[in-house]
Amino acid sequence: MTAESPLIHSMRTAVAAAPEDVPLRLHLAELLLEAGHADAAVAEIAVTLQHAPGDARARELMARAMGAGPSPAVIPEPAATPGPPAPVPDAPPASEVRPAAGFDWRAAENQVGDVVPPRYTEAPLTVDGSGDPGDADAWDVESPGTVRLADVGGMQEVKERLEAAFLAPLRNPELRRLYGKSLRGGLLLYGPPGCGKTFIARAVAGELGASFLSVSVNDVLDMWIGNSERNMHEVFQTARRQAPCVVFLDELDALGGKRSRTQSNGMRTTVNQLLTELDGVDAGANEGVFVLAATNVPWDVDIALRRPGRLDRTLLVLPPDGPAREAILRYHLRERPIENVDLGKLVKATDGLSGADLAHVCEAAAEHALLDSARTGTVRMIGMKDLLAAARKIAPSTEPWFAAARNVAMYANDGGMYDDLVTYLKKKRKL
Ligand SMILES: Nc1ncnc2c1ncn2[C@@H]1O[C@H](COP(=O)(O)OP(=O)(O)O)[C@@H](O)[C@H]1O
Ligand SMILES: [Mg+2]
């Protein structure tokens, strides 16, 4: 695999500075795709889809990245949005790529073109409280929250597995003693974007009465050599100080060995640092520290991280089932002016949509009713018509994920690692 170009490097810096900027991130994804880094592109597009599940360009790029052959894949287009022009097979050199609408590429390039050396090089302040007081809080810890598994709608199977594989042994001191060492290790949640991984992790923390320290592995990674390891160590040190604490490592795949983020072997040493932190359980250092991680692409997660005693249990988090969709819809409609909404019917009409898609449906319906009200001059409530129309317009954002997952289930289910996935795909006749 080729190293990333300086342009891509600069783009990464820009994206890190403006993580919510959808066109910017998609531009990076496009560059990655053109440079042959399909899986890195997928990671970026997946992030985008979490922010903007309905984004036509993101979906089109995802379809391309997942197909990742030399020719562009056939693109399922969401019905309503007139997508951007189809990608040209032999694209121009990266530097001439047409910018996304509304994004001033030149200006951005000028801005990040010369971010070379760090401005300060002092050693970091200590995190044990003896340094600058602000430094101890580099990673935000949420105090024990009130979200419980009961707040997670539906998903009975997920709850039962969580209970059996993770919670019960931790809750019960007898079991804890009995199992001793085999209780080390954490849980890796995986599945399509927007289907509740983060939400479930937070609920687990609530069940354990633990604080919650959520970090995106992308935020841990730092382009300056050595900083990523130090950041990773600080995350765990923070959690140890706040124990009991759930450490939630989101986007774990960003550490994937398959990805060349920098030319250095920085990633390897960061993986090793994480292994050291996880293995710290042996010394009792991690007493009261529970590790959960999440990824949309478990097949990109370094296999060393999944060995026994590490992130050795996996849990597949699928698109919300009926009761889950009902809970999610209720939540997003709770403060909206609705009338005569037949939730049962709406739940049926939204099969296959992710939690994020459902939020989008509610928003789109509200917007439609609002525009209507403005046009006619008569305020009207949000009704079934608005909701069903919105549901029809949206294509499940999980589809590209399932396309990739299908390949993994068929050709890379080493040691039955993805048996759950295989079972689900068969049940849905997708395999
Ligand atoms: N079973 C569920 N019950 C209630 N809300 C849910 C459920 N599943 C997902 N959600 C909601 O859907 C949205 C997306 O979930 P999130 O946890 O961010 O997904 P992921 O981390 O898998 O990308 C969140 O607003 C979350 O609260
Ligand atoms: Mg998440």
pLDDT digits (tens, 9 = 90+) for 394-428: 999 999 999 999 999 999 898 888 999 999 999 98
Q: Is the pLDDT of residue 172 over 90?
A: no
Please tell me what DSSP assigns to residue 255.
G
Tokens of 350: 């939204």
Q: Residue for token digits 């919300």?
A: 320
Q: Is the CB of 397 under 6 A from ligand 1?
A: no
Comparing 85-89, 194-198, 227-231, 290-294, which segment has the lowest mean pLDDT?
Answer: 85-89
Tokens of 72: 């562009």
CATH code: domain 1-72+111-125 is 1.25.40
Q: Is the pLDDT of residue 269 over 60?
A: yes
Q: Which atom of ligand 1 is nearest to the CA of 250?
A: 21
Task: Give the type of residue at 164.
Answer: A
Q: Is the CB of 252 under 6 A from ligand 1?
A: no
DSSP reduced 3-state for 350: coil
**pLDDT value at position 367?**
94
Q: Is the pLDDT of residue 261 over 70?
A: no
**pLDDT value at position 184?**
67
Q: Which of 238, 240, 211, 311 shows the shortest CA–CA distance to 271?
A: 311
Averaged pLDDT, 191-200: 95
Residue nearest to atom 11 of ligand 1 (CA): 355
Q: Is the CB of 155 under 6 A from ligand 1?
A: yes
**pLDDT value at position 80?**
44
More confident residue, 9 or 320: 320
Q: Is the pLDDT of residue 13 over 90?
A: no
Q: Is the pLDDT of residue 84 over 70?
A: no
Averaged pLDDT, 284-303: 89
Tokens of 56: 């036509």
Averaged pLDDT, 302-311: 87
Which residues fall within 8 angstroms of residue 301, CB to CB, at 6 or more apart? 188, 252, 253, 255, 256, 295, 311
Residue nearest to atom 13 of ligand 1 (CA): 355
CA of residue 133 to ligand 1 center, whole Å: 34
Q: Is the CB of 153 under 6 A from ligand 1?
A: yes
Q: What average pLDDT does the structure give for the chain?
A: 81
| pLDDT above 70 coverage of the chain, percent | 77
pLDDT band per the 50, 70, 90 thresholds, residue 79: very low
Q: Which atom of ligand 1 is nearest to the CA of 200?
A: 17
**pLDDT value at position 102?**
53
CA distance 302 to 270: 11
**pLDDT value at position 207?**
92
**pLDDT value at position 179?**
60
**pLDDT value at position 403?**
93
CA of residue 196 to ligand 2 center, whole Å: 7
Q: Is the pLDDT of residue 335 over 60?
A: yes
How many CB atoms neighbour CB 42 within 10 A?
26
Out of 50, 188, 195, 202, mutate this one to test ligand 1's pocket (max ligand atoms within 8 Å of CB): namely 195
CA of residue 189 to ligand 2 center, whole Å: 10
Q: Domain spanning 149-316: which superfamily?
A: P-loop containing nucleotide triphosphate hydrolases (3.40.50.300)
> Which of the given ranges, 9-18, 285-294, 340-349, has the highest pLDDT on average?
340-349
Cis peptide bond upstream of 72, omega within 30: no
* Residue pair 73/66 in contact by the 8 Å Cβ criterion: yes
CA distance 135 to 122: 14
CA distance 330 to 181: 42
In words, the CATH class of domain 322-393 is: mainly alpha
Q: Is the CB of 50 under 6 A from ligand 1?
A: yes
More confident residue, 48 or 212: 212
**pLDDT value at position 382?**
95
* Residue pair 315/190 in contact by the 8 Å Cβ criterion: yes
The alpha-carbon radius of gyration of the chain (Å, integer) is 23
**pLDDT value at position 129?**
41
Q: Is the CB of 292 under 6 A from ligand 1?
A: no
* Residue pair 212/246 in contact by the 8 Å Cβ criterion: yes
CA distance 106 to 109: 5
Residue intervals of the chain classified under CATH 1.10.8.60 are 322-393
Out of 50, 199, 343, 361, mutate this one to test ligand 1's pocket (max ligand atoms within 8 Å of CB): namely 199
Q: Is the CB of 194 under 6 A from ligand 1?
A: yes
CA of residue 269 to ligand 1 center, whole Å: 32
Averaged pLDDT, 369-380: 91
Task: Give the type of residue at 136.
Answer: A
**pLDDT value at position 180?**
56
Q: Is the CB of 324 under 6 A from ligand 1?
A: yes
CA distance 167 to 209: 11
Residue intervals of the chain classified under CATH 1.25.40 are 1-72+111-125
Q: Is the CB of 328 under 6 A from ligand 1?
A: yes
CA distance 370 to 365: 9
Q: Is the CB of 356 under 6 A from ligand 1?
A: yes
Axis crossing angle, helix 56-67 with helix 22-34, rounded to the nearest 10: 20
Task: Give the type of residue at 36.
Answer: G
Which residues fall within 8 angstroms of residue 419, CB to CB, at 6 or more apart? 413
Cis peptide bond upstream of 396, omega within 30: no
DSSP reduced 3-state for 247: strand
CA distance 215 to 248: 6
Residue intervals of the chain classified under CATH 3.40.50.300 are 149-316
More confident residue, 84 or 286: 286
Give tens-digit pLDDT for 141-156. Answer: 999 888 999 999 899 9
Q: Is the pLDDT of residue 385 over 90?
A: yes
* Angle (CA) 284 289 293, round 5°: 125
Out of 50, 217, 318, 328, mutate this one to test ligand 1's pocket (max ligand atoms within 8 Å of CB): namely 328
Q: Is the pLDDT of residue 69 over 60?
A: no
**pLDDT value at position 303?**
87
Tokens of 222: 């730092």
pLDDT band per the 50, 70, 90 thresholds, residue 103: low
CA distance 202 to 180: 25
Q: Is the CB of 154 under 6 A from ligand 1?
A: yes
* Residue pair 55/21 in contact by the 8 Å Cβ criterion: no
**pLDDT value at position 17?**
82
* Residue pair 129/302 in contact by the 8 Å Cβ criterion: no
Beta-sheet strands, E only, within 257-357: 289-295, 313-316
Q: Is the CB of 199 under 6 A from ligand 1?
A: yes
Q: Is the pLDDT of residue 363 over 80?
A: yes
CA of residue 200 to ligand 2 center, whole Å: 9
Which listed ligand is nearest to 356 at the C-alpha?
1
**Residue 292 dihedral angles phi and psi, to the nearest 5°:** -120, 145
Cα-Cα-Cα-Cα torsion 317, 318, 321, 324, nearest 10 degrees, comes to 40
Q: Is the CB of 185 under 6 A from ligand 1?
A: no
CA distance 212 to 239: 8
Q: Is the CB of 204 under 6 A from ligand 1?
A: no
How many CB atoms neighbour CB 122 within 10 A?
6
Comparing 45-49, 129-133, 168-172, 356-360, which segment has the lowest mean pLDDT?
Answer: 129-133
More confident residue, 166 or 216: 216
How many CB atoms neighbour CB 108 within 10 A?
21
